[in-house]
Chain A
Amino acid sequence: MELTTQLIERKPIERLRESITTTPGRMRLLAVLIALSAVGAGVVTATAATARKHAAHAVAAQTEPLLVEADGLYASLSDADATAATTFLTGGIEPVARRRRYVSDLRSATSELSTLSHQVGNDPVARAAVSTVVAQLPVYSGLVETARANNRQGFPIGAAYLRQASDLMRQTILPASGRLYALEARRLASDYGSGVSTGTYVAVALAGALALAVLIVSQLYVALRTRRVFNVPMLVGSLILLGVVVWTLVGFSAEQDALSRAQRKGSDSVEVLSATRILTLRAEGDESLALVARGGGDQYVADFSTVNSVLGHTGGRGLLSEAAGVSRQTGSAKSFAGFVSLLARYRNVHGRIAAFENSGEFGDAIKLAVGTRAKEAPLADRLNASLGAQIAVAQRRFRQAVGDATAALRGLSFGIPVVVAVAGVLALFGLFQRINEYR
Chain B
Amino acid sequence: MRGRRRHLLVFAWLALAGVTLAGCGSTSNDAMRASLRALQTPTPSTASTKKPEPKVKCADATASLRPIGALQSHGRMPAGSFMSAIQRRGYLIAGVDQNTLLFAYVNPFTGRFQGFEIDLLRQIAKSIFGDPNRVVFKAVTTAQRLPYVQRGRVDIVADAVTMNCYRWREVSFSTVYYDAGQRLLVPKNSRVRGLGDLAGKRVCVTEGGTAFKYLAAYRTAHPRHHPIASPRPQSTDCLVALQQGRVAAIASDDAILLGFARQDPYTKIVGPRFTDEPYGMAISRSHPDLVRFVNAVLARMRSDGAWSALYRKWLGSVAGPQVLPKARYRD
Binding site for B on A (CB under 8 A): 91-93, 150-151, 153-157, 159-161, 163-164, 170-171, 178, 181-182, 185-186, 188-189, 192-193, 195-196, 198, 201, 205, 209, 212, 216-217, 219-220, 238, 242, 245-246, 249, 253, 256-257, 259-260, 263-264, 268-269, 271-272, 274-276, 278-279, 293-296, 298-299, 302-303, 306-307, 310-311, 318-319, 322, 326, 359-363, 366
Contact = CB atoms under 8 A, between A and B. Distances in A.
B14 A268 contact: no
A360 B95 contact: yes
A90 to B, nearest CB: 9
- 10 tightest A-B CB contacts, nearest first: A360-B138, A256-B25, A275-B35, A268-B31, A160-B236, A299-B46, A302-B44, A319-B38, A322-B34, A156-B99
A189 B33 CA distance: 10
Given A246-B13, A361-B138, A150 B263 contact: yes
17 contacts: A91-B109, A156-B263, A157-B263, A181-B39, A185-B35, A193-B27, A242-B6, A249-B17, A253-B21, A260-B27, A264-B28, A272-B34, A295-B141, A296-B141, A302-B44, A360-B154, A366-B111
B206 to A, nearest CB: 11
B106 interface: yes
Contacts of A319: 34-35, 38
B108 A151 contact: yes
Nearest to A152: B108
B44 A306 contact: yes
Contacts of A201: 17, 21
Interface in B2-54: 3, 6-7, 9-10, 13-14, 17, 20-21, 24-32, 34-36, 38-41, 43-44, 46
Given A155-B263, A193-B27, A360-B140, 19 more contacts: A91-B109, A154-B108, A156-B101, A157-B240, A157-B260, A159-B99, A161-B240, A164-B237, A216-B3, A253-B21, A257-B25, A263-B28, A264-B27, A272-B35, A275-B35, A295-B141, A295-B144, A306-B41, A359-B153
Contacts of A216: 3, 6-7
Interface in B224-254: 234, 236-237, 239-240
B307 interface: no
Contacts of A170: 43
B74 to A, nearest CB: 26
B110 to A, nearest CB: 9
Contacts of B259: 156
Contact of A205 (B14, B35, B41): B14
Interface residues of chain B: helix, strand, loop or mixed (majority): mixed
Contacts of A253: 17, 20-21, 25
A306 B240 CA distance: 29
Contacts of A192: 27
Contact of B38 (A245, A249, A275): A275
Given A156-B101, A185-B32, A260-B26, A249 B13 contact: yes
B283 interface: no
Contacts of B101: 155-156
A219 B239 CA distance: 93
B139 interface: yes
Interface in B136-182: 137-141, 144, 153-154
B116 interface: no
Nearest to B136: A361
B107 interface: yes
B251 to A, nearest CB: 17
A298 to B, nearest CB: 7
B138 A359 contact: yes
A230 to B, nearest CB: 9
B98 interface: yes
Contacts of A198: 21
A189 B30 CA distance: 10
A295 B140 contact: yes
A238 B139 contact: no
B109 A307 contact: no
B123 interface: no
A294 B234 contact: no
A298 B45 CA distance: 10
A219 B35 CA distance: 57
B36 A182 contact: yes
Contact of A189 (B29, B100, B237, B239): B29
A92 B240 CA distance: 19
B10 A209 contact: yes
